[in-house]
Chain A
Amino acid sequence: MDAFLQGLALVFNFQTLLVIIGAAIFGVFVGAVPGLTATMAVALLVPITFYMDPTPAIAAIVTTSAMAIFAGDIPGTYLNIPGTPASAAYVGESHQLARQGRARETLGTNLVCSMFGGLFGTLVLVFVSPSLAEVALKFSSFEYFWLALLGLSCSIFISIGSKTKAFLSLLVGLLLSTVGLDMMSGAPRFTFGIPDLMAGVNFIPVMIGMFALNELMMFYGSRNEGRNVPAVHKDEVFSSVPKHLKRYWRNLLRGSSTGTLIGALPGAGADIAAWISYAMGKSRSKDRDAYGTGHIEGIVDASSANNSGISGAWVPALVFGIPGDSITAIVIGVLYMKGMNPGPTIFMDGGGLIYALFIVFFIANLIMLPIGYIAIRSAKVFILTPRKILMPIILCFCIVGAFAINNTITDVWIMLITGSVAFILARNDFPMAPAILGLVLGGTLENNFMSSMLKSNGDLLSFFSRPISAGLGAMVILIWFVPLFIRLYRRYRGAPQSPRTP
């Protein structure tokens, strides 16, 4: 109880509340400007959170990401350009509704569903994480090795598009994680004689490069400004919401639970959660034909899913230190910097901090309602902010933000190089999430492998000698080989009907 009261005191003070409101406005702005993603918002925020106490720092990240995911629906609805990738799944649906003069009604429903999804995910986080943490306490380096490998494997097989490209993207992240002094031998690896690289590649300049600089380069490489807002407002924000929720409450629950579950899978973020929930909603709907013509049902499913995915991603991040998406990958680094080492012990020795984190989640999702309402009413301000003015300002924040981490120009170079590589890869449909997971989990994977080898005198079979470790190992093997077996089986079954032609 004392810890809970401590948590309350950490959140309900002037500084933290001010940070939450500021972060909410920042999140709305970044989310509502097309081309700026929630991950980019968080990456740009990290250098500033560096100078905050742990609670306001976490509060700023949680609030920004939740608000940005919702606000991504605003340009999606008005302009048919999703503000963030998480809104892309149902952008056609919401834009069709806007063309019928129902933009505010759509965004109002979006807002309430987002809030519900976020709160649902938070409840799962609050009730599931501590129990999972008790199990995780029994984990040793063997289990953590498999867990990291499981996360990395998921990031390949869950990604949309070519798995080979996802695999290569993951290796880029893993390669970056090997830079610096080797943990066991102290030998420098890929440091090229640069002293700043001895401690490894700091992940924040990499994040800024991959998510912000990459977007900037995309923007300058295109001519699209996209600025035609159909400004017809015959509807009200919340008046139709109760009717929609009464009709589609099952979709709301299904979207929230699917989103939380998908968010918790490493490598799968709010965007994948929204796509899958939208597809599930469509396949189970009685009005399947109405999808794509401006049907609110699809929006209920997907907009609750993307916000619950944000909360769900925190479960593995807090319990195991395995990020659920690219935002929690950044968060893990921030938690380490703030002395809150992610892992099961965070629930034991975190004091009031862990309760403060839970409370922050509730506030961030509740504050979404008033600030989201204001954002919907003043949507034009966000949408009409000219990107040709905004993008150069963001570039300056990227440069100064990367420099601010260690006060060294090397980090600016790292941002530039990783951003350029990310630009080339992203333009050729390489997913970025596996690279980020590779960078964050690479150290965990290698260090736990090496520790396990030291403990077992190099016996590789020891990875299967403990029950949980063997179970996790079996899961990893299944993830890698089941798709192969399925393909071989299909080829075998299909062979008589479609013989190969020479």
Chain B
Amino acid sequence: MKDFLLGLAFMAAGAIVYLVAQQFPTMPSLQYGPSLFPSLIGGGFMIGGLILAISHVGALKGIGHGMTWHMDREQLRNTLLSILPGLAIVFYILTSEWLGALLSLALVMFVLMLARRTPPLLALGVSLVAALIVDLLFSRYLLIPLPEGLMSIWG
């Protein structure tokens, strides 16, 4: 079922890529313009997606004959937890400018550790030390301009 849906998703993505590629400018001196490769890739997506969907069309028939496709509570919980690192990155992107990289990273680590049932005190200690090391390594040693945010108050 998942493969069937992924096949459809690739077909849709292929169509979008193909249509966007048609809008790229062409130059009279060039026989093959900037749209050639993206168009081929879009076409490839559509063909590959179609093959994938067709080869798993049996899953649809199964649903039609009484088979159900559902996610149990455990699967749903695991899927939601797997999004956690992604959400943590979004949190960092949104907050690092005003909280500063050090605090944002420490918060991200602390929450992620708690999510896997690390004792809170241990999680807090490790998060703070690790954030300090990462910040020192990248902003002091490698001279990466990580946002300072609130920490700029201490200079």
Interface membership of chain A positions 359-395, coded 1 if the CB is closer than 8 angstroms to chain B and 0 otherwise: 0000000000000000000000000001011011101
Chain B residues with CB under 8 A of A51:
142-143
CA distance A213 to B92 in the complex (A): 14
CA distance A221 to B138 in the complex (A): 29
CA distance A419 to B79 in the complex (A): 15
Kindly report which residue of chain A lies nearest to residue B126, judged by CB atoms.
Answer: A389
Asked, given contacts A389-B118, A400-B138, whether A187 binds B34 with beta carbons under 8 Å apart, the answer is yes
CA distance A404 to B123 in the complex (A): 26
Q: Is the CB of B86 within 8 A of A420?
A: yes
Q: Which of A162-170, A257-265, A466-474 contacts B (4 or more CB under 8 A)?
A: A162-170
Of B31, B34, B109, which is in contact with the most chain A CB atoms at under 10 Å from its CB? B34
* Partner pick for A164 among B31, B48, B89, B101, CB 8 A cutoff: B48
Kindly report which residue of chain B lies nearest to residue A167, judged by CB atoms.
Answer: B48
Chain A residues with CB under 8 A of B51:
164
Kindly report which residue of chain A lies nearest to residue B144, judged by CB atoms.
Answer: A404
* Partner pick for B130 among A50, A393, A398, A445, CB 8 A cutoff: A393
Q: Identify which of residues 28-62 in chain A touch chain B, using a CB-to-CB cut-off of 8 Å.
A: 47-48, 50-51
Chain B residues with CB under 8 A of A386:
118
Q: Is the CB of A428 within 8 A of B6?
A: yes
Q: Is the CB of B113 within 8 A of A389?
A: yes
Asked, given contacts A164-B48, A415-B89, whether A407 binds B144 with beta carbons under 8 Å apart, the answer is yes
Q: Is A396 an interface residue when CB atoms closer than 8 A count as contact?
A: yes
Interface membership of chain B positions 36-62, coded 1 if the CB is closer than 8 angstroms to chain A and 0 otherwise: 011001001100110110010000000
Q: Is the CB of A403 within 8 A of B24?
A: no
Q: Is A334 an interface residue when CB atoms closer than 8 A count as contact?
A: no
Q: A167-B44, A428-B2 are in contact. List 5 more A-B contacts (CB 8 A).
A: A164-B55, A184-B30, A223-B78, A395-B89, A400-B101
Chain B interface (Cβ within 8 Å of chain A)? 2-3, 6, 10, 17, 20-21, 24-25, 27, 30-34, 37-38, 41, 44-45, 48-49, 51-52, 55, 78-79, 81-86, 88-90, 92-93, 101, 105, 108-110, 112-113, 115-118, 122-123, 126-127, 130-131, 134, 138, 142-146
Closest 7 CB pairs of A and B: A221-B82, A388-B116, A182-B34, A392-B112, A458-B31, A392-B109, A168-B48
Please name 21 pairs of A and B residues whose Cβ atoms are closer than 8 Å in the assembled complex, sorted by A. Answer: A51-B142, A51-B143, A165-B52, A167-B48, A168-B10, A174-B41, A175-B41, A175-B45, A217-B86, A220-B84, A220-B115, A389-B113, A392-B112, A392-B127, A393-B134, A395-B89, A396-B130, A397-B134, A404-B144, A454-B30, A458-B31
